[in-house]
């Protein structure tokens, strides 16, 4: 089988969440961070017919990307990665699933308290300004009847520099939901976002079949 570029891009993105991955039979990939506060799932065009684990996803992708038009042949305990028109090949052994951090169940998203659209440009801008200002937090702030704002800040420092973008209006409650900027591991794109006061959020890509569930920080608040 061959891995198309979209699938390689998804795997590269997943490697930023967790360098382990357990690939199961079918056309779906999923991963979870070692802290279990980020869960991601994507549909792909390829279909795997066996379960196998990869301990170092970045290493695996480096082998694949260094091979000209790679073809993967899955065996019981390893795969071979061979180049088109070449007799050379790499033998890559699977990892024992027991040493991997992988999802054990689906995420049941509670009813959302806030929904909004987040454009690729706004997501990029927020991450860029967070890096420039060295601010570790992203706050989703709403004042009942007012604007819905995303703000990068340092919640432990009232006088820290910050940057915000309006992403909605007519907030239905007073709330401040906190994320860690470092947890915003989404692949580039536009997203439909849902946030629940039950400490979880959902980011669904508008064009690609990929979605993420990201935990809120415990000091998030809402007053309905």
Task: Grade residue 149 by pLDDT with cuts at 50, 70 and 90.
Answer: very high
Residues 54, 129 within the same domain: no
First to last CA, the chain: 52
CB atoms within 10 A of CB 20: 21
Residues 86, 118 within the same domain: no
Cα separation, 178 vs 3, in Å, equals 37
Q: What is the CATH number of the domain that holds 172?
A: 3.70.10.10
The domain of 43 spans: 5-99
Contact indicator for 77, 40 with CB cutoff of 8 Å: no
The residue-averaged pLDDT of 99-117 equals 95
Residues 132, 216 within the same domain: yes
Residue 108 lies in a domain: no
pLDDT at 27 over 90: yes
Residues 82, 9 within the same domain: yes
Q: What is the pLDDT of residue 86?
A: 82
Of 66, 99, 132, which residue constitutes the final position of a domain?
Answer: 99
Residue 184 lies in a domain: yes
Residues 79, 168 within the same domain: no
User: What is the percentage of the chain residues whose pLDDT exceeds 70?
Assistant: 100
Residue 91 lies in a domain: yes
Residues 119, 217 within the same domain: yes
The residue-averaged pLDDT of 27-33 equals 97
Residues 133, 95 within the same domain: no
Burial of 173 (0-12, 13-18, 19+ CB in 10 A): middle
Q: What is the pLDDT of residue 84?
A: 85
Residue 149 lies in a domain: yes
* Domains contained in the chain, number: 2
Task: Grade residue 185 by pLDDT with cuts at 50, 70 and 90.
Answer: very high
pLDDT at 85 over 90: no
Q: At what angle do helices 57-65 and 5-17 cross, to 10 degrees?
A: 150
Task: Grade residue 160 by pLDDT with cuts at 50, 70 and 90.
Answer: very high
The residue-averaged pLDDT of 173-201 equals 97
Residue 68 lies in a domain: yes
Residues 74, 118 within the same domain: no
Q: Tell me how far apart the 2 most distant CA atoms of the chain are, in Å.
A: 67
- Whole-model pTM: value is 0.94
Residues 76, 170 within the same domain: no
């Amino acid at each position: 089988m061959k891995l198309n570029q979209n699938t390689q891009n998804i795997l590269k993105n997943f490697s930023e969440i967790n360098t382990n991955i357990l690939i199961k039979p079918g056309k779906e990939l999923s991963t979870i961070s070692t802290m279990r506060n980020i869960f991601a799932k994507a549909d792909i065009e390829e279909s795997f017919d066996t379960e196998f684990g990869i301990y170092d996803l970045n290493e695996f992708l480096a082998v694949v990307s260094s091979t000209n038009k790679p073809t993967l042949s899955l065996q019981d305990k390893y795969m071979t990665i061979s180049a088109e028109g070449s007799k050379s090949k790499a033998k890559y052994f699977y990892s024992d699933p027991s040493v991997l951090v992988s999802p054990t169940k689906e995420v049941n998203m509670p009813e959302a308290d806030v929904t909004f659209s987040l454009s690729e440009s706004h997501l990029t801008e927020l991450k860029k300004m967070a890096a420039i200002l060295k601010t570790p937090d992203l706050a989703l702030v709403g004042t009942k009847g007012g604007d819905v704002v995303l703000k990068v800040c340092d919640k432990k420092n009232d006088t820290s520099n910050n940057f915000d973008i309006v992403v909605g209006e007519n907030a239905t409650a007073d709330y401040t939901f906190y994320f860690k900027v470092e947890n915003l591991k989404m692949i580039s794109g536009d997203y439909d976002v849902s946030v629940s006061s039950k400490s979880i959020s959902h980011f669904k890509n508008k064009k690609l079949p990929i979605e993420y569930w990201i935990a809120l920080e415990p000091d998030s608040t809402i007053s309905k």
